[in-house]
Every structure is written in C-alpha cells, then in structure tokens.
Amino acid sequence: MTRLQTTLGQFSFDSCVMNASGVHCYDRTELDDLRASKATTFVTKSATLNPREGNPTPRYKAVPLGSINSMGLPNLGIDYYLDYLETVEVGESSPFLSVTGLSREETHTLLRKIQSSSYNGLVELNLSCPNLIGKPQLGYDTEGVNDLLTEVFAYFDQPLGVKLPPYFDLTHFDQIAEVLNQFPLTFVNTVNSIGNALYIEDETVAIKPKNGFGGLGGSYIKPTALANVHAFYQRLKPSIAIIGTGGVTSGRDVFEHILCGARLVQVGTALQEEGPAIFDRLEAELRSIMAEKGYECLDDFRGKLHYL
C-alpha cells in the first residue's frame, strides 16, 4: 500500500496535494468545498488588510495550455479569513493563511493582527503577485526581501513561509536562497505565475487589465516550476520545506514536483478548470505511479532526481 503522508515543519498531512492560493478559496463556500474534498489541506486567497474588488474583468482566461490572469487580489480582507480560520482546528495538521500587504507597513499590520488572533497555524506571505498595477513583485528585490524578513522575524513567531515568483538565472537563485537561509522560515512556495505574459487571440489580447499583460499558469509553466523547486531544494537549508506549485494537471506532474524536492504540491489552473474532484484523480494517479515503481512513501523518491 502506498503512503502519501508528508510533513512541513511541525505539521503533518495525510496526503500531499492541495489548492494554490487564488483558486477556489475566495470565500467560506469555496473553502468548505476544499475541506470536504481530498485536498490534504487548503490555503486562503491572499488577504489584504481591507477587502478588494480586484482588477476589471475579464481578468482570467483559460487558454489551450493553461491560463492567463490579472485578478488584482480580489479578496474579502484579513478579518474575514481570520474569522473563518478561527473555526478550523489547527492540530497536527494546519491550513495556510495567505496574506500580502500593499505596503511594508500593511504587511506588518497583517502579521501583527494574525499574531494577536487565536489562529496559530501556518501563514504564507505572498511576495509575488504580478498583477498589482504600479507595484513591483517584492520577490525580485533581494534586498527588499531581506529587509522585510528582518523586520518580520523581530516579532513574528508563528510558522511562516513565503510565496515566490519564478526565477530564471542561477545567480538569482543563489542570491535569494542566501537571503532566505538567514531566517527561520518554515517553507518556501515556488512558483507563483510567470508574470506579465501576453496571450493573443486573432489580433486581440485575452484579458482586460494592463492591456492584456497577466500571470501565466498551467502546463506552460511546469518546466520553470520544476526548475525552481529543484534549484531551491539544492540551495535551502533542510529546515525550510519546499511547496511545489505550477503546471500540475496529473499525478505524473505531482510525482515530478516531489522528485524535484517538494513536500506539498499545489494546484491552480487545473483546479480552476476541473473543480475539487481533481484531488481524487491526482492522488489515484500518483499512487499508481508509485506502485508501478515500487515506492511505498514519498521519502523513497523525494528530491532524488537522476542526473546524466
């Protein structure tokens, strides 16, 4: 019998697949759906201090090999998600509360609010939304990440991780990993969408905000996601777990993320298209690959990518 159990910091999970923030996690109804599904846990939509409408529509489009979006962080505000999470038991397992400040001050306000609430589970700090008009992705500013995390860890003592944008240069992996290794992070989640792609149909862009520029997700980005998972697996200290996100549509994709070093695997575009029933399928497909290869648990192959 194959076992899909995994751990992340002090927490353990029955399985290894869950939603990616932004997909099927906007409100109580969607979060309840995830809790009723085979997803092993869930992450909320990234919360800002105040509720946000997000960018003008159309702002999401499914395209042949994935999706393009410029949602602009529509969310119900931190208080809504904290209220919800206060009803969920955090024990051996934990949900993830995703947050993102529109400024450094707002990030601190969010984290202090979490710290003074009764929620004591995992927190994901999103440093990588590419769709905020006029705001850069902090994950690409190594010094900015260093400064922010220095301030955060001066007071924040709950299990915290960061959601990163994709990197494309080995020097950039070295630089950001060196910064991240200085902090008691529980995890890094890699990758967010590939920012500012352009999808064209006939002569026209596919989404309205930013004249069509948006984050690319789905199968287009799997090789980039796997490269980021493995590059961080090679560089981060072992106490920082890796969550792999990007291009997961099948059990084989989950297998590849784990082979590259992921402890949990998140699903975005394919969950949007298929709904929460996808988790049953992914689990069954992963189990059948493991059985065929004679692997009994994820540790049998996690990070054990073969090189030529």
Cite the active site residues: 129
Report 107-126 residues binding ligand SIN (CB under 6 A): 126
Q: How many CB atoms lie within 10 A of CB 167?
A: 22
Tell me the residue length of the chain. Answer: 308
Angle at 104 between CA 98 and CA 109, to 5 degrees: 65
Q: What is the DSSP string of 54-90?
A: -SPSP-EEEETTEEEE-----B--HHHHHHHHTTS--
The torsion of the CA quartet 131, 106, 264, 18, rounded to 10 degrees, works out to -70
- Please tell me whether residue 268 binds ligand SIN under the rule CB under 6 A: no
> In this chain, which of 47, 73, 110, 242 binds ligand SIN, going by CB under 6 A?
73
- Please tell me whether residue 72 binds ligand SIN under the rule CB under 6 A: yes
- Please tell me whether residue 165 binds ligand SIN under the rule CB under 6 A: no
- Please tell me whether residue 48 binds ligand SIN under the rule CB under 6 A: no
- Please tell me whether residue 266 binds ligand SIN under the rule CB under 6 A: no
All residues at 6 or more sequence positions from 204 whose CB lies less than 8 Å from its CB, including other chains: none
- Residues in binding contact with ligand SIN, number by CB under 6 A: 13
66 has which bridge partners? 63
| Stretch touching ligand SIN by CB under 6 A, among 27-35, 115-123, 128-136, 238-246 | 128-136
CA diameter of the chain: 53
> Which of 25/298 has CB closer to ligand SIN?
25
> Which of 1/133 has CB closer to ligand SIN?
133
Tell me the closest approach of the beta carbon of residue 48 to ligand SIN, in angstroms: 10
**First and final CA of the chain: distance in angstroms?**
31
Contact by Cβ (8 Å): 95, 44: yes
> In this chain, which of 37, 44, 46, 107 binds ligand SIN, going by CB under 6 A?
46
Tell me the closest approach of the beta carbon of residue 18 to ligand SIN, in angstroms: 16
> Which of 74/303 has CB closer to ligand SIN?
74
Task: Write out the residues near ligand SIN by the rule CB under 6 A.
Answer: 22, 46, 71-73, 126, 128-131, 192-193, 215
